[in-house]
Structure 1
Amino acid sequence: MARADVAHPDNVGGPWFVDTRCIRCDVARHWAPGLIEMDDSGLSYLARQPESPAETAALWRAAEACPTQSIGNLEIRRPPSPPFPYELTPGVLALGHNARSSFGAHSYLVERPDGNLMVDSPRYLRGLAERVDDLGGIRHVLLSHRDDVADADRWAERYGAEVWIHAADADAAPYATAILDGDGTALISPGTIVIPVPGHTEGSVVFHVDDRWLFTGDTLHWNHRRHELDVFPEQTFFSWDELARSMELLSTLRVEWLFAGHGSWHDLGTDLYADQMSSLGDKMRQIGRAGWAQRPRAAYDWY
């Protein structure tokens, strides 16, 4: 629950507010852009009160997704209807309820005729699980890397789901049932392929679905401030050179939508994806990790 006693001093007056327990993960700003903004230290604050039912709904989604539950309303404690799962595009739903243990990473439910996929994990909540039940449950839990595991074990146990992770990161999910080893791709289910992309961590992977959707964890994201595909230099824990090579591998894929763990989801279209990815690996090598991190706003490009 948000705490009015530690409300951000820059909040605009009114019932909605943001408190200062924010961890700078940018989740709320993805869900309520223009309503929630960032101060000079990266903390979120309420820039203006909502002016329409759509904006109010956006703030409820931000409040439910926030991993520190830092967004509140002085007049109403709970949303009139559950904000999540929320359809981003037909077949892909955001699960919200981002976990602090994964620094607020997004997670997704992908509806499939042969069994639904959960990509990375939200907090386990009974109400959310009941709504996932209504959507057909989960057959596979797909973990992009060690950082965004959250409550995957509880979700897998509820549905008896297979849990996929790369061997290099498997110690983060000792309950995993499907361990990918080496640098080869693997077929998870019809139309769903897992591809190793070391860089952020040694065991980072992406999931390519139906030759159109790419779920990237912390490997690649849409930087909504730069309006371009981007990587995280300061959070490249394994190898910058390997990450550049991973970008070259990903550039060969056909992608319409990108769904990141950190960073915003985005409907790129195949042309924009191909154009930006064609040079990303080379740019990373030319600029280097230190140069990439020194670009404007780099200190808060963890989204």
Structure 2
Amino acid sequence: MADSSSYLVCNTCGTQHPTPDRATLTTCFICDDPRQYTPPAGQSFTTLSALRAAGDRRNDFRPFPGEDDGAAAANPRFTTIVTTPQFAIGQRAVLIRTPRGNVLWDCVTYLDDETAQRLDALGGIQAMVISHPHFYSAHLEWAERFGCKVYLAAEDKRWLARRSEEKQVFLEEIETRIEVAGEDTGVRVVKLGGHFPGSLVLLYEGRLFTADTLIMTPAGRSNWSVDALGNPRERPKGVNTFSFLWSIPNMIPLSADEILRMWKILRNYDFRAAHGLFPGWDIEDEKIKARVLESMQIQIRAMGHGEHPLLKESL
């Protein structure tokens, strides 16, 4: 059996395929799906061993800002992990440190000894949760290195390039409590669907980790607190915070009914902050749940559904 570091990795989406044979793998089935894309230069592959040998990449660890002490204070419970220079989609993973063990939310493809050693120093990884197939990346490399399980939506099994009966756990329920050695970590995984049938979000200590199940918009991350002269102001009416898309890169929206179905699940949970798929896509706001509903209603009106039932929803 070939060393998995020689398995082909898609340069566009970062998915690791279980073969080193370039003659038999000429396209990536993830990128052939209408929710993804192939770049103008066409399909291409690399390997983890080639990425490591090049020596020009590393994984940066960036603590979340502190909640009360300003941007300079680190919050040790949450750490962004992102590959630089960017590889493939460029998403971040987030290490969530709980009293019962560390949970990794989403995954990046690149894994080297330095990354593993830094994570070992933080207590390792006791469980992984991947939001959807575009971020499956090289999750089995990570799971095997840290000896942990990976939680994935059962609905999205068909998008797995690599499979492991030992490491992969498929979630059937709407909500799953993540446990480590039989003890509840406090992490909740909620299946909203939309982008993919099994698209997941994660909740921990009042924080909603959205990946791209909910896409944080530039307006959502804007600072509307003051005007150009420093005078206090309020957020403008009708400005969204999130978009709800079936295909993010190809900008194909979800249907109004699917957005309503997602809301009927999410409305049962409380949260005061949201964290998206890229570094810096973070919003701390006690009213963030209301902003999710407002964004859904803005999108549905813009799609021409002036009488849709979601427009009658309120908190």
> What TM-score do you get using the length of structure 2 for normalisation?
0.59
Letter matched to residue 282 of structure 1: Q
Q: Give the structure 2 partner of residue 259 of structure 1.
A: 275
Please state whether the residue corresponding to 2:101 is helix, strand or coil.
coil
Letter matched to residue 245 of structure 2: P
CA distance in structure 1 between the partners assigned to 2:116 and 2:304 by the alignment: 40
**Highest CA radius of gyration, 1 or 2?**
2
Residue 85 (str. 1) matches residue 61 (str. 2): yes
Q: Give the structure 1 partner of residue 294 of structure 2.
A: 279
Q: After TM superposition, give the deviation of residue 231 of structure 1 in Å.
A: 1.8
Q: After TM superposition, give the deviation of residue 251 of structure 1 in Å.
A: 3.9
Please state whether the residue corresponding to 1:97 is helix, strand or coil.
strand
Q: Give the structure 2 partner of residue 44 of structure 1.
A: none
Q: Give the structure 2 partner of residue 59 of structure 1.
A: none
- Residues 169, 78 of structure 1: CA spacing in aligned structure 2 closer, same or farther, 3 A cutoff? closer
Q: Is the 8 A contact 1:198 1:238 kept in 2?
A: no
Residue 194 (str. 1) matches residue 182 (str. 2): no
Moved over 6 A (4+): none
Q: Which has the higher contact order (CA 8 A, sep 6+)?
A: 2
CA distance in structure 2 between the partners assigned to 1:238 and 1:165 by the alignment: 24
CA distance in structure 1 between the partners assigned to 2:193 and 2:172 by the alignment: 12
CA distance in structure 1 between the partners assigned to 2:293 and 2:56 by the alignment: 45
Aligned pairs, number:
211
Letter matched to residue 198 of structure 1: G
Q: After TM superposition, give the deviation of residue 233 of structure 1 in Å.
A: 3.2
Q: After TM superposition, give the deviation of residue 186 of structure 1 in Å.
A: 1.3
RMSD (Å) for aligned C-alpha atoms? 3.1
For residues 143-185 of structure 1, the C-alpha deviation after alignment (integer angstroms, 9 at most, x for no partner) is: 0011111121111001111100101112334235321115x21
The structure with the largest strand share of the pair is 2
- Residues 187, 238 of structure 1: CA spacing in aligned structure 2 closer, same or farther, 3 A cutoff? farther
Q: Give the structure 2 partner of residue 108 of structure 1.
A: 94
> What TM-score do you get using the length of structure 1 for normalisation?
0.61
- Residues 263, 288 of structure 1: CA spacing in aligned structure 2 closer, same or farther, 3 A cutoff? farther
Structure 1: any 5+ residue segments left out of the alignment? 1-22, 24-68, 70-76, 291-303
Residue 127 (str. 1) matches residue 114 (str. 2): yes
- Percent identity, aligned pairs only, is 21
- Residues 201, 252 of structure 1: CA spacing in aligned structure 2 closer, same or farther, 3 A cutoff? same
CA distance in structure 2 between the partners assigned to 1:288 and 1:238 by the alignment: 9
Q: Is the 8 A contact 1:221 1:258 kept in 2?
A: no
Q: Give the structure 1 partner of residue 243 of structure 2.
A: 231
